[in-house]
Amino acid sequence: MLEFPESITRVLESIADSFLVVDGNWRLTYMNPAARRIFTDQGLKVEELIGKHFWNEAFPETRGTLIEQEYRRSMTERVSGEFDYYLRAWQRWFAIRVYPVEAGGISIYFHDITKRKLTEERATFLASLSKKLASVTEEEQIIRITVEAVGRHLNADRCYFVECLEHENRILIGHNWHRSTSSSIEGAMSLFDFGGIDWWHQYSQGDFAVEDVETEPLTREKAANYVTVGVRSYAVQPCRREGEWTVVLGVTESFPRKWTADELSLMDDVIARVWPLVERARADQALRKSEARFRAIVSQATTGVVQADAEGQMTLVNRRWCEMLGYTEAELLTMNIAEVTEGESLRATLSAVHRLAEGGPSFDMEKRYKRKDGSTFWASSSVNAVRGPAGEYQGLVAVVLDISERKRAEERERRAATDALEAAKVNANFRTLFEQGTYFAGVMSLDGTVVEANRIALVACGFKKEEVIGKKFWDCGWWNRSPALMEMVRKASQQAAEGNIFRQESPYFVADGSQRFVDLSIAPAKDDSGQVVFLIPTGTDITERKRAEEALRESEERYRTLFESMDEGFCIIEVIFDAGQRPMDYRFLEINPAFEKQTGFKDAKGRRMREMAPEHEQNWFETFGNVALTGQPARFESQATALGRWFEVHAFSVEMPERHRVGVVFSDITERRRVVEAVREVGERYQTLFNSIDEGFCVIEVHFDDRNRAQDYRFLETNPAFAKQTGIKAAEGRWMREIAPEHEEHWYEIYGKVSSSGESVRFENRAGALNRWFDVFAFRIGEPEQRKVAILFTDISERKKAEIALKEAQMALARQNEFLDQTVQQRTAKLQETIMELEAFSYSISHDMRSPLRAMQGYAEALLQDYQSNLDDQAKHYLERIHRSAARLDLLVRDVLAYSKVAKGDMQMKTINLEHLIGDIVQNYPNLHSSRIQVTASPFPPVIGHEGLLTQIVSNLLGNAVKFSYPGQLPEVAISAETMGPDVRIWFADKGIGIAPEHHEQIFHIFGRVYPDKKYEGTGIGLAIVRKAAERMGGSAGVVSELGKGSQFWITLKRSA
């Protein structure tokens, strides 16, 4: 036996890693306390392991594994090794290091890494599964991929999804993955085949695992049933929707197995990720089927199709419709549908079309039509309304099928009914299946007469045998509440009688009038010769599934309007956590219009709660944080002291958990809490909502006349708010016509319909006799024959008055806007007329002033030349000043005249070649001669402009460059262009004295001079002409300059194509 020095032993006894020593004969000679703890946890007696042979006695379960391979390699080759290993018998992962010992043998360090491995494997597995499912859209493929991946990952014997029909106490197992050594368990089973009621309660509440069905108290009595399907141990993870178990992900094993919390948690993650994909795939498949059916109906060409307007005038007919009636298309388009309808069928047709026009549903009916030759024929018509964008009735479209042959065959088929019944009764196996099955079944003759129905079809639906036997299948209680359903079943029966199986999901009715859904099949039964002898209708109730699908279809539409129109506040928040995953704050990402009213917060979107309400209670952050982390929804009432309000709140996780986003639906219940508190303080405790709601509430009994028309109703119960909402006192026991004789008839009709049909209704309506408007929700309570209706209502008269006032204000505002529009147009026209007159005046003044100025200038010049010898120096000086002033004033007038021409002159726009234009200006203007200025020009794109105005602009800018240059310096100007989208910007850059930034805008105004006249000659109009000319051509002008650093003037013009 190997021995260690005391110092090494102390170290080995204190380390966290487990440590073993095996001698050269494979005897276990030492284990430290950490190893002892691991072996004890696995139920081993550690004191009996020392001295045992490692493979044969101590740990025989490791023989033939990687552990034996690595230990033997280290022992024989005297090398160290390191590896990770999953010991399935213990369901644990270990990191193992093995070293040879000098005295012979090996030393083994190992420690438990199960948690780390499971975390890594779980993340890898979920990522891999998500990748596999990323492009999968079919339900069956999603389920197949998932159950195989989960089963293999958990190293289970079998993996499956179970869907539950709680109301039938049945479970349905679709595709399941299993190892080759196991069998499939697909199919339907009873919930109670595998446990009693206690087991069912445990099974349906949450994650559930059974280590051994033979020892677990909840399954022990049913152990034989488990063994029959090869199950000794199992784990399940249910998914619930609105409190009902909808699907379960399960795994099984053929031997006892202890399922870990990590495995159950993984299953929870999988079902949360995958089942929404399955539900979406189902919804997509249903949509595709619907679209396919629609295309098939539209594309059929063997049936008659006719379209008529609101008056019945035919506006569209197809070839088959013309063949049926014997008319040409042109003839039918001049006729009304009533003209081709046989007399006995006309009244029913007009009545059905009237209901359709009034908003009623589409309908199917069988009727006779008149041919052009006077003969008649039977046809089945499927009629749908054509409505405009606002829902108004515009006409109808009918699909018509000739059923004359079917009508003739019905009598022949009816005679075969008795023979069909006898054929069904002689088959004992069929009878057993017929009566003991879990689905609806029956037998009917070829003409659709029911000759037999099984117990499920009768008892489960509340019908008696005599109510269906001998009747046409479509006339029975399952269908006869709906003409459309009756016609569908009749056509289906005809299809089956022709030898073709019919199958369709359809609504049906039970005896109490409630509607359910069935997967209906009608199959032909044939004799040895292939002749159809009778029909077998069967069906499975699919009501719960259809409700789930309907809820899925309706949810998106409800959400569209709910967000904007709901009275409750709604927001989506992002919960913010600290490094320790503690919720510290939350940010508002989305809010609905009611949010501000419910909270008092304005502009909350994007802001944090602690920013808006620093004293907000911590429990709000903790509750929303828990929802964000766990995904578990929360409903609660709580006070927000910082807001001075109480709220009723429903919070739920949205999007992926890692985004920490929570949806919150809430209502300000402060007033309600105040009422409750006030009631508590005076000792009055209300026990039900009946006595505490602000809305009016009552229960009425509707009275019908002998023709089953609602005539009156009596108040059986009213709540305290009733009198306030209606103004009626002491209403209980009294009739409405007694209280308000002028009460409108439509109130009685609406409540009568609710009590008769059981369909709830919500509407807004005016009660003229009470002088009030009401928002009403009415629904039937009790049995149908009791004729009781519960009504929840609110007086909305003030809101309606406000709506009317708002509409009137909007109309008044529109009229005022129209008046203002006309006034502005009139004043704008007047202003434009005034501007044109001023421009004409300025042009006239500028033009007429030049004559006296030329005279002054000419006379002064003549005196200086002709009488110079007679004038002294003082007289000469005065004449020279007169001459210069007249010349300057003449220049000023010319510039004003030029500005006026630019401002109002007519223009002919065309493509201009700037290179040629600039070259001509430089050559032809004396003051731009090369001895006075150096001009360089880059290539220019062609532009759209007026040649005269462009000439004025270029000459003015080049002239300024000469004028405002430094003395003794030859002015230099560089002209270039840049393209700016559809425009061209032309730059005139000089090296002159520059312009201070504060004068950049001033210089473009008339007389906007910066420098004094004596230093720089000019009128102060040149740059104003430049800008006005650019603007007249659809461009603009500007400058970039600093004092002493030259100037860069620019103009923009439209680029020529």
pLDDT digits (tens, 9 = 90+) for 976-989: 999 999 999 999 99
pTM given for the model: 0.31
If you average pLDDT over residues 551-567, what whole number do you get? 63
Kindly tell me if the per-residue pLDDT of 536 is higher than 80: yes
Neighbouring CB atoms inside 10 A of 361's CB total: 11
Least confident range of 674-688, 929-943, 947-961 = 674-688
CB atoms within 10 A of CB 149: 20
In this predicted structure, the answer to whether residue 148 has a pLDDT above a threshold of 90 is yes
Residues 936 and 1022 in one domain: yes
pLDDT of residue 420: 46
Highest mean pLDDT among 83-97, 404-418, 732-746: 732-746
Lowest-pLDDT range, 396-405, 489-498, 690-699, 1015-1024?
1015-1024
Count structural domains, the chain.
8
Range 534-545 average pLDDT: 86
Residue 691 has pLDDT above 80, yes or no: no
pLDDT one-digit tens code per residue, 319-346? 889 999 999 999 999 999 999 999 888 9
- Of the chain, the percentage scoring pLDDT greater than 90 comes to 35
What single string gives the DSSP state of each residue in 113-180? -HHHHHHHHHHHHHHHHHHHHTT---HHHHHHHHHHHHHHHTT-SEEEEEEEEGGGTEEEEEEEEE-T
Kindly state whether residue 554 falls inside one of the protein's structural domains: no
Regarding whether 184 and 131 lie in a shared domain, the answer is: yes
254: nearest Cα among 150, 182, 357, 340: 182
Check whether residue 738 and residue 771 sit in a common domain: yes
Reference 599, options 669, 663, 654; nearest CA is 669
Report residue 15 CA to chain centroid gap.
58
| CATH code where residue 696 lies | 3.30.450.20
Residue-level pLDDT at 117: 78
Q: Is the pLDDT score of 428 beyond 50? A: no
Residue 611 has pLDDT above 90, yes or no: yes
Task: Tell me if 207 sits within 8 A of 234, measured CB to CB.
Answer: no
Spatial separation of the C-alpha atoms in residues 768 and 744, rounded to whole Å: 7
The length of the chain in residues reads: 1057
Q: Are residues 249 and 129 in the same domain?
A: yes
Q: Flag whether pLDDT at 167 surpasses 80.
A: no
pLDDT, position 835: 60
Per-residue pLDDT at 388 = 84
User: Is residue 427 over pLDDT 80?
Assistant: no
Rounded CA gap, 491 and 473, in Å? Answer: 11
Residue 371 within a domain: yes
Kindly state the average pLDDT of the residues 1017-1044: 87
Same domain, 133 and 268: yes
Q: How many CB atoms lie within 10 A of CB 138?
A: 12
Query: In what helix (H) or strand (E) does residue 1047 lie, and over which residues does it extend?
Result: strand 1047-1055
User: Can you give the residue range of the structural domain that contains 644?
Assistant: 564-681
Could you tell me if 58 and 206 lie in one domain?
A: no
Q: Is the pLDDT reported for residue 664 higher than 50? A: yes
Q: How confident is the model at residue 429 (pLDDT cuts 50, 70, 90)?
A: very low
> How many angstroms separate the CA atoms of 945 and 1029, rounded?
10
Q: Which amino acid is at 485?
A: L
For the cut 90, the answer to whether the pLDDT of residue 787 exceeds it is yes
What CATH code is carried by the domain that includes residue 983?
Answer: 3.30.565.10
pLDDT mean over 93-108: 88
In a domain, 429, yes or no: yes
> Quick one: what percent of the chain has pLDDT higher than 70?
85
- Same domain assignment for residues 134 and 271: yes
Give backbone dihedrals phi and psi of 393, rounded to 5 degrees, phi first.
-75, 125
Mean pLDDT on 517-538: 87
Report pLDDT digits (tens) over 628-647: 998 899 989 999 999 999 99
| Residue 1044 or 424, more confident | 1044
For residues 265 and 123, membership in a common domain is answered with yes
Lowest-confidence segment of 515-519, 728-732, 852-856 by average pLDDT = 852-856
pLDDT average, residue stretch 676-700:
68
pLDDT of residue 1049: 94
Instruction: Identify the top-confidence range among 540-549, 767-776, 871-880, 1005-1014.
Output: 767-776
Output the pLDDT for position 559: 56
SS (H, E, C) 7-28: HHHHHHHHCCCEEEEECCCCEE
Q: Quick check: 702 pLDDT over 90?
A: yes
Given 635, 664, 681, the domain boundary residue is 681
CATH number at residue 226: 3.30.450.40
CATH code of the domain covering residue 874: 1.10.287.130
Which of 540, 572, 592 is at the close of a domain? 540
Q: What's the rounded mean pLDDT across residues 784-800?
A: 91
Q: Return the pLDDT at 202.
A: 66
pLDDT of residue 683: 40
How much is the average pLDDT of 109-113? 88
**pLDDT of 297:** 47
Q: Is residue 805 part of a domain?
A: yes
pLDDT of 771: 92
Is residue 553 domain-resident? no
Torsion angle defined by CA atoms of residues 349, 350, 351 and 357, in that order, rounded to the nearest 10 degrees = 110
The residues with which 307 forms a beta bridge, in sequence order, are: 316, 397
Both tokens of 741, joined, read 């004789």
Q: Is the pLDDT of residue 854 over 90?
A: no
Average pLDDT, the chain: 84
Per-residue pLDDT reduced to its tens digit, 232-241: 999 988 876 6
Q: What is the mean pLDDT of residues 127-136?
A: 87
Vertex 931: Cα angle to 928 and 934 (nearest 5): 65
Residue 897 has pLDDT above 70, yes or no: no
- Higher pLDDT residue, 1037 or 812? 1037
- Given this model, what pLDDT does residue 1047 score? 92
pLDDT for the residue numbered 294 = 45
Cα(436)–Cα(420) distance, integer angstroms = 21
148 lies in the same domain as 200? yes
Residue 799 has a CB neighbour count (10 Å cut-off) of 13
Is 267 in a helix, a strand, or coil?
A: helix
What is the mean predicted confidence (pLDDT) over 217-237? 87
The reported pLDDT for the residue numbered 144 is: 92
Q: What pLDDT score was predicted for residue 472?
A: 93
- Range with the poorest average pLDDT among 219-228, 321-330, 1034-1043: 219-228
Quick one: 586 and 719 in the same domain?
A: no
What is the spatial distance between Cα 494 and Cα 445, in angstroms, rounded to a whole number? Answer: 11
147 and 279 assigned to the same domain: yes
Distance, in Å, from the CA atom of 411 to the CA atom of 398, rounded to the nearest integer, reads 27
For residue 252, the model assigns a pLDDT of 93
Annotate 616-655 with b (16+ C-beta within 10 A) or e (fewer).
beeebbebbbbbbbeeeebeeeebbeebebbbbbebebbe
- pLDDT confidence bin for 903, thresholds 50/70/90: low
The yes-or-no verdict on residue 423 having pLDDT over 60 is: no
Residue 289 confidence (pLDDT): 67
Average pLDDT on 517-526 reads 89
Q: Are 776 and 790 in contact (CB under 8 A)?
A: no
Which domain-ending residue is among 402, 434, 450?
Answer: 402
One domain, residues 267 and 345: no
DSSP 221: G
Domain assignment present for 296 = no
Per the domain annotation, does 128 fall within a domain? yes
Q: What's the confidence (pLDDT) of residue 562?
A: 60
In a domain, 549, yes or no: no
- Is pLDDT of 657 > 90? no
